[in-house]
Chain A
Amino acid sequence: MKIDLLCRVIDNYGDIGVVYRLAKALSALEPTLELRLIVDGLSSFSALVPEIEPCREEQRCRGWEIYPWELPKGQARQRFRAYRPRLIVEAFACGKPAWYEELVFDPADPEPRTILNLEYLTAEDYAAEFHLFRAATRSPLVRKFFFMPGFTEGTAGLILDRDFAATRERLSDPAGRQAARLAAARRAGLAFSAADAARLWVLVFSYERDFRRIVADLAAYGQQRPLLALVAAGRSSSPFFAAWEEAGRPFPAHQIPFLRQEAWDELLLAADVSIVRGEESLARAALGGRPFLWHAYLQDEAHQLVKVQALLDCMRPHFAPEDHAVLSSLFLAFNDRRVDSPASGGGEALLPFLERLPSLETGFASFARKLDSLGDLALHLLTFFREIG
C-alpha cells in the first residue's frame, strides 16, 4: 500500500507535528507501507526531525519519501507519474500543489483515487457528523471523505502512536516515575536534583497572554506544595517570564529549548500540570491523563469559546460536578480574548484548580481512558483505506 500525506504548515509546528506523528504511527502499524510526504514547510519539519534537510528536492527519512510542496520538474516528478497518487491524505484541507492536482485529476488516468481530508481536531458535535462523510470533487474517479479526529464515538479518535504510548506507560508507573521525570528533564537540557523531581511540575506552552494572575496563583499554591515551571520556547515564554520577574521570581522557572517531538512528548507526560495550546498538544495532554489547561487557537469573534465549551462538555462525565465547575470557569476565562497579546486575558483563577488537583487527577485519567477506548486514528485510517480498496 502506498499513501501520500500532504501538509501545509500554518502555525509553526502543530500541523506538521500531527502529520509526522501520523506517519510514524502508520509505519509502525504497517511496516511495508510506502509513504510519500509532500510538505510546504520543510524547515518546520526539520525542526521536529533534524535528519530532514529543508532544501532538498527529494530525500528519504525513516523509510519515507519526502518532497517539497513546489517540486521542481525533474526525476522526482517523473516518479509521481510512474507511481500515481491513489491513496491521499490532505492534512487540514491543505489542498494540493498544482503539479499534484494535475496528476490527481488527470482525465487519462482510469483508476480511482481516494482522498481523506484529515480535519482539525474539535470536540464539537459536527466532528461525528462529518466523519467519513463524502466530500465532493470535480471528478467521479476522485473520491473524497472527511476524516475527523475527535473525543467522542463516531469520530476517528486521536493518534496513539507507539512512541507516545510507550513513553506514557513508562511515566505512569509510580515506582519509576521520578527517575523517568529526571531523565526527561535531562533530555530537555535540564539538570534537576531529586528535590526538583519531587516538586509539582507545571509545563507552560500557550499563546502570548498576560500571565500575572497565573504566576500569582502558582506562587500562592507554591506555599502549600513546592513547584517549578517548565516554560516552552515560543509565544508564551516572554510574557510568562516577564510576569515571573515582576512577581519577584516566586518559584523556580526554567526555559525549555525547542525539542524534537519525542522529547516534547516525554516532558509533557512528565509534568504534573500542563498549559497547552492548539490541537496537537491538547491531544497529547488529554491522552496523557494528567491535569491540563487548554489555550485554544484564537478565532474570529471569540469562536474559540465554542470549541472550549464543546471540550468541557465532553469532559463533564469524567468529573465530579464541583470539579467540573472549577474546570469550566478556568478554561472559559483563560480563553476569553479577542486578540493574542501580552496584555490579553488575566481574568482566570488557577488557584481553585490547583487546590483540587487530587480529585481532578482522577477525572483527567478517566477522560484519557475514554479517549483510548476510541482507538487509534492511524489504525482507523489504514482500515478505511484497506476497505475502500
Chain B
Amino acid sequence: MIMTGDIHGGTVFKVGNDVYIVQRMLGIKGGRNGQVKRLRVKNIVTGSTCELGLDMGEKFEDVQLDYHKMKLSYIDGDTYVFIDQESYEQYELTKEDLGDNAGYITPEDDFEVEVCFYEGKPVGMTLPIAIERTITYCEPGVKGDTSGKTFKPATLDTGIEISVPLFCEIGTKIKLDTRDGTFIERVK
C-alpha cells in the first residue's frame, strides 16, 4: 500500500481501476494532524489529466512498475530523451509526462534518474529526493540575513523558479527537495 504521505511528484498510484502519475503538486497545506494536498495527475493509460485532493487518512494500492536507471541524454523541444545506462537504449518522455520533475534536470547532470515503465511503456521518472542546482538569477543577497526565514524568487539553471532565502546570490549552489521544490540548504 502507498500512504498519502508517500505521494509526491512522479508517484504512480491507483484510484479504482485508473492508474495515475502525479504531474504537479498544486498545494500542500498543513493542519495539526498532517496535511491536505492538491495535485494534478495524469491517467497513464488514457492520457487524460485531472486534479485530485489527498488527505492523510487514505492509502492506495501499489502499481506494478519497472524502474530503469537512466541519464537524460538531450532535450528536443518538449521531448526528453533518456538513455539506459546498461542497454544504451533510448526512451522518450514528454515534458507533460514528467510534470514538475522536468524542471529539476538537465542533460549536463551527473546523477541518474529512474524512468518508470508501466506495461512496458515509459510513463514517468523519479528523482533523488535531494538534488543540487545552481541559481542563475535572483535579486542581490542580503548580507547578515542568515535566518533562512524570509524568501525571494530565484531562477535555477534548469529554468524553473523556486523560493530561496535572502542570503542566496547568483551562482549560489543549493540543495533542494524534488518532492515539493523547497530549498533545503546552501551547498558549501
Contact = CB atoms under 8 A, between A and B. Distances in A.
Interface of A: 10-11, 90, 92-96, 117, 119-120, 122, 124, 126, 129-130, 133-141, 144, 146, 297, 299, 303
Interface string B41-61: 000000000001111111111
Contacts of B141: none
Interface string B97-130: 0000000000000000000000000000000000
B33 A96 contact: no
Contacts of B52: 134-136
A133 B53 contact: yes
Contact of B14 (A10, A122, A138): A138
Contacts of B54: 135-136
B20 to A, nearest CB: 8
A207 to B, nearest CB: 13
B30 A93 contact: no
A14 to B, nearest CB: 9
B35 to A, nearest CB: 9
A129 B26 CA distance: 11
Contact of B60 (A130, A138, A141, A299): A138
B50 to A, nearest CB: 9
Given A138-B60, A139-B16, A120 B55 contact: no
B29 interface: yes
Contacts of A126: 27, 29, 36
Interface string B2-31: 000000000000111100000000010111
A130 B38 contact: yes
16 contacts: A10-B32, A93-B33, A93-B34, A94-B57, A95-B57, A96-B57, A122-B31, A129-B38, A130-B29, A133-B38, A134-B52, A135-B53, A136-B15, A138-B16, A140-B16, A303-B30
A138 B15 contact: yes
Contacts of B61: 138
A141 B36 CA distance: 21
Given A96-B57, A136-B54, 17 more contacts: A10-B32, A10-B33, A11-B32, A90-B57, A93-B56, A95-B56, A95-B58, A126-B27, A130-B36, A130-B53, A133-B38, A135-B55, A136-B52, A141-B16, A144-B55, A299-B30, A299-B32
A126 B31 CA distance: 11
A140 B20 CA distance: 13
Most buried by A among B15, B32, B56, B60: B32
Contacts of B16: 138-141
Contacts of A120: 31-33
Nearest to A117: B55
B53 A134 contact: yes
A119 B58 contact: no
A146 B38 CA distance: 11
Contact of A140 (B17, B32, B56): B17
A120 B34 CA distance: 10
Contacts of A117: 55, 57
Nearest to A278: B32
Contacts of B34: 93
A11 B33 CA distance: 10
A100 to B, nearest CB: 11
A223 to B, nearest CB: 39
Interface in B41-94: 52-61
Contact of B58 (A92, A124, A134, A137): A137
Contacts of B38: 129-130, 133
Contacts of A139: 16
A122 B15 CA distance: 28
Nearest to B30: A303
Given A92-B33, A93-B33, A93-B34, A137 B15 contact: yes
Contacts of A93: 31, 33-34, 36, 55-57
5 interchain residue pairs of minimum CB distance: A140-B16, A95-B57, A135-B53, A120-B31, A93-B57
Contacts of B14: 138
B60 A297 contact: no
A92 B29 CA distance: 13
A144 B14 CA distance: 15
B117 to A, nearest CB: 22
Contacts of A299: 30, 32
B182 to A, nearest CB: 12
